[in-house]
């Protein structure tokens, strides 16, 4: 017989990695939480940054229709 462990405290909490959807250990020893790895963290940050740049770059100067635009 062994000593009963407390699974509530011994078991690491698992969350879903926002980048790959896999299991990620949500604990102080995982510096990349809530991501499962540095790779996933970089992927997510990269996607976020590139999307921001893309949105800003593609944003038209003015999205309101020009009332003086000649109709074809």
**Interface with Zn ion (CB under 5 A):** 17, 19-20, 22, 36, 40
Q: How far is the CB of 68 from Zn ion (least distance, A)?
A: 52
Coil, strand or helix: which one is 54? helix
- Structure tokens given for 18: 């926002």
In whole angstroms, how close is the CB of 43 to Zn ion at the nearest point? Answer: 8
**Min separation Cβ 33 and Zn ion, Å:** 11
Tracing tokens 């790779």 back to the chain, one arrives at: 39
Q: Alpha-carbon dihedral of residues 37, 42, 44, 49, nearest 10 degrees?
A: 170
Nearer to Zn ion, 21 or 52 (CB): 21
């Amino acid at each position: 017989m062994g000593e009963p462990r407390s699974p509530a405290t011994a078991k690491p909490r698992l969350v879903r990695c926002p980048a790959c959807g896999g299991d990620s250990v949500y604990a102080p020893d995982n510096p990349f939480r809530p991501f499962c790895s540095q790779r996933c963290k970089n992927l997510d940050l990269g996607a976020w940054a590139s999307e921001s740049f893309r949105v800003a770059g593609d944003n038209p100067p003015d999205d309101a229709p020009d009332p003086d635009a000649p109709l074809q």
